[in-house]
Every structure is written in C-alpha cells, then in structure tokens.
Chain A
Amino acid sequence: MTPVSITCTDLTLRFPVYGVDAKSLKKALARVTVGGVLGRHAGVTDVTALQGVNLSLKAGDRLGLIGHNGSGKTTLLRALSGAYEPDEGTIEVYGRIAALLDLGLGIDASATGYENIRLRGRIAGLSSREIEEKMDEIAAFTGLGPFLAMPVKTYSAGMQARLAFAAATAVEADVLLMDEWIAVGDAEFQKLAHKRLLKLVERAGILVLASHEAPLLRLYCNKVMRLDGGVASEVVDIRRLDELLDV
C-alpha cells in the first residue's frame, strides 16, 4: 500500500462564473445567432482561484492554511477532496479522504436522526453493515437518546449540530480536511467534540485545517501555509506563523 500523501504540482484552478444571465438559454442562443464570435465568453468570466500551488505532505503533517477571505483556502480544500479538478497541474492524494467542510452535508430535515446517520455514512463510503456496527457509538455520542427516532426538523439548532457532528466524525480517514475547527453545541458538548476531533486527527495521517485563529493553528498544526489571492506561500514550520501573519 502506498503511504498516505498529498502532492500538488503547479495546481491552477479557474472558476468559470456563469452569470445569472448566462444561465439562461436566451443569451446562449443569441450568441450563436450573432455568429458565435462576438463575445464568445460574454457572461462567462474566469476567476483564478488558485495559481501555481505546490504542496507536498506526508503522514504526520498537520498543515494550517491561513489567508484572507477569498484567498482560496476553501477552494484548495475542495480541490483536495476531489470535487474540483485542476485546470493545470496535478493533485495526487493517497489515502481515505474525509472532508469536514460542511457539517450539513446530506442532512435531510424531514428524516429521523437515525436515517440521517445512515445517509451520511453511506455518502462517506461506509457499507450498511459498517454503519449499523457504529450506530450505537454514534447514537451515544450525540447524547440525543430517544430524539434520534424523531425527524431532525424537530431538533433545536444545537441538537442538529450534535447529530451532524457525530455522524460526520464517525468515519476513519487518512486525510482529514477541515474548514475551521468545528466547535458546536454547549460547553459540555464542545469538550466532548474537541476530544473526538483530536482522536480523529491523531489517527489520520494528514490534517489540512483552514482557520483564522492563530492559537488554534499553533495547537494542532506543525506546518503552515499562507494563501494570497490564490497564490501560495511556501510551507513553513508552525513556529514561523507570526512571520506569515505579518506579511
């Protein structure tokens, strides 16, 4: 088995932004009728989200991503999760990937807690049997007890967050991608959640965490990289975080 690793080489990602108008067929038809030359790209603007990013991570690396809003942190995480494919360059990821980017992924408010755990597990790649094996542990962790048999729409926001968190973190992964450290629920649950995340991070070979909070990054990461308008800095040791923040 190939050891867990992430390698990006000259990764460039452009977003075609289809304006509201461009989504309408009328505009597209009009373009064809005027000869297709005039403003062939009218309505479609390319935004370069990542440009020439080089990155190489191996087991044991805990990378913190910093950068202003819109600097490309989330885009990079999504690209690593396999959702976005590069326009230039390559991404190679070896290992089971778990992306905790949006806790609400696959949560269906009209389904019960149990059904949502199953659905989330299936999306994450677990078999039905594996889910049933983990069900007790997940159910216990949510602390929702009999409410798990009720539709999620009857839950309070905090309860929903508990469910989503428990289901999303039940996976075993080699590569963990996180957009902000997830802090959910009341103080008591936050402590539990914190422990669970730490365990997940310890088991995972690689963590990539995008965050604005320096103390958090110092706590969990051993490396850090800064993104500015889609251009990445070098990957440096976490002890040099202040230098990167000052740039």
Chain B
Amino acid sequence: METATHLLRTGQRGALFQLQMALRDLSNSVQRIGLSWSLAWHDVGARYRGSILGPFWITLSMGLMVLGIGFLYANLFHIAIDVFLPYVALGIVFFGVMTGTINDGCETFVQAAGMLSQTSLPLFTFVWRTVFRNLINLAHHLLIVVVVLAVFGYWRHIHPLLALVGIVLMLLNASWLSMLAGIVSARFRDIPQIVMSIMQFAMFMTPVFWLPDRFGSHSAVLNFNPFYHLLQAVRAPLLGQAVDLHSYVVLVAMAGLGWLGTFALFARTRRRIVHYL
C-alpha cells in the first residue's frame, strides 16, 4: 500500500491541466495494473461460478460454430476444407475477441459506478479490466486455434513474430475503441445498442466467414473496413500468409489517431464521468 496518497485537485485550470490529470490517471492505473488483473479474474470467475467448463463453454460453442460454418461453407462455395476451416476458425476467434472487448467497453464505467463514486481509483483501471477480461477469454479460445493449426499442419508455416505484431496492433485498436464506447455509453444510454448493431454489421461485412479473393484484395469493401485490416494482421501470419504493407499503415495510423482522439475526449470528460453514472 502506498505510504502516502497525495491528492491535489482543482476543476478549472484549463485544458493543459486536464491533460496532465488524464495522464496521471493513466500512470496511476499502470502502477496498480495488478488491481485490473484481479478485477478481470474476478469477473471471469464470477461469470462462470458453478459451471464445470467455465469460459471453455464459450470456447466449445465457438468450436461448434467453426465446425458447422467450416464444413457448410466449404461445401457451398466449393473450397477445400483444409483451406477454409482454419481460416474460419481464426476469423471467429479473433473477431470474437474484438467484438467482446468493444461491446464490453460500453459497460466499463457504468458497471464501476459504485467504486468510482467513493474512491479515487483511476478510471483507466476499469478500461484495463475490460481489456484483460477479454484477454483471459481469448486465452481459453486459443485452444481452438492451436488444435486447428496442428490438425491441418499450418503450424509449420506460422510467422510467429508477425502474428505477435498483429495481436498487439489489434489490442491497441480494440482498447481505444472499448474506452471510447465506455465514455460515450456512460453519457448516452442508447450507445450500447448502437455499438452492438455496428459490431454485428461489421461481422458480416468483414471476411470472417468468407474469403476476400472474390473481391480482389484491393476492393473498397475490404480496404475501407478497419476490421478487415485488424483481422488480417493476426490471421494471415498464423496461416503462413503475408500481410499487405498498407494494412500495417492503416492499423498504426488508426491506433495513433484513435488513441489521440480518445485520450483528448477522456481529458475533457474525465472529471465528469462519475457524474454521468
């Protein structure tokens, strides 16, 4: 425990001061990152208490979906199963994590209302909680990825370093989207429904269940869809394929601009968020 908490707070000292306070919130949350982990583990434990498989239930249902869609679409579209099934498996798992992080983001601050109204815990602590909770879920679903890649022999062709880069880029982007959803949802209670609809729409517009080659890889449907690049950066290296350079450009730019915008919004609304709740 800290030996001394020093608080110095004022409301109206201009934008620079608000930015400084927002940065302090961020750095405090990093110093107490263990708390975010504890809360995330508690969430996972709480949700699946008393169930035998725990989070593996979702893994199981994802696995069934992978098998179903894998075999069905492979037949419908006349694609070889050893090409299509791993492709769909990775798509469902990683798109699922993005959707989960962003949808859960809507609840980040609303759920923490009790704690926020009587402690000085950093707001970022709860953003990380949401992200970590989804990471823990991902760790369970990786079972599907491992099995599929092993069964179809893709493990020999994996580019591990690029896959890691892809996952980091995906998390960087999903986390600012999650936080943005959290701030806006705290203020406007219609937002969670809108976010959910958008994510569902995005799932069908993004090549999760279908191969992008029908469009040609530079089609607008793909290129103007950020989720395509996000998914591609993780999936392609795991399948031993190359990722277009412009996908990386898009993702880095998106992460940079996204975090900049979200952080600016956070700096503006930080001291108000507790009143929204």
Contacts and interface: CB of A to CB of B under 8 A. Distances in A.
Interface of A: 1-2, 15-16, 18, 23-26, 28, 78, 81-97, 99, 101-102, 104-106, 108, 110-111, 115, 118-119, 122-123, 125-128, 130, 151, 172, 174
B265 to A, nearest CB: 15
Contacts of A128: 34, 38
B6 A97 contact: no
Nearest to A105: B114
Interface in B170-214: 187-191, 194
Given A23-B187, A101-B118, A108 B42 contact: yes
Leading 7 A-B pairs by shortest Cβ distance: A82-B120, A87-B11, A85-B271, A25-B190, A25-B188, A101-B118, A122-B38
Nearest to A90: B10
Contacts of A172: 1
Nearest to A97: B5
A16 B274 CA distance: 11
A182 to B, nearest CB: 14
Interface in B31-72: 32, 34-35, 38-39, 42, 45-46, 49
A86 B21 CA distance: 13
B11 A105 contact: no
A46 B18 CA distance: 20
Given A89-B10, A119-B42, A78 B118 contact: yes
Given A86-B10, A88-B11, A24 B188 contact: yes
Interface string B85-120: 000000000000000000000000000001111111
Contacts of A111: 42, 45-46, 49
B11 A85 contact: yes
Nearest to B184: A25
B46 A108 contact: yes
18 contacts: A16-B272, A18-B187, A25-B194, A83-B118, A83-B120, A87-B12, A88-B10, A90-B8, A94-B5, A96-B2, A96-B3, A96-B5, A99-B119, A104-B114, A122-B34, A123-B119, A127-B1, A172-B1
Contacts of A23: 187-189
B276 interface: yes
Given A25-B188, A85-B9, A97-B5, A122 B35 contact: yes
Contacts, number: 125
Q: Is the interface of B mostly helix, strand, loop or mixed?
A: mixed
Nearest to A10: B10
B118 A81 contact: yes
B7 interface: yes
Nearest to B6: A94
B119 A91 contact: no
B121 interface: yes
A212 B272 CA distance: 30
B121 to A, nearest CB: 7
A15 B6 contact: no
A96 B11 contact: no
B3 A1 contact: yes
B188 A123 contact: no
Nearest to B37: A122
A83 B46 CA distance: 26
Contact of A83 (B3, B35, B116, B187): B116
A237 B90 CA distance: 70
A172 B32 CA distance: 18
Contacts of B38: 118-119, 122, 128
B10 A126 contact: no
Contacts of B245: none
B157 interface: no
B109 to A, nearest CB: 13
A86 B34 CA distance: 29
Which of B1, B119, B189 has the most A CB atoms < 10 Å from its CB? B119
B156 interface: no
B9 A94 contact: no
A2 B4 contact: yes
A29 to B, nearest CB: 10
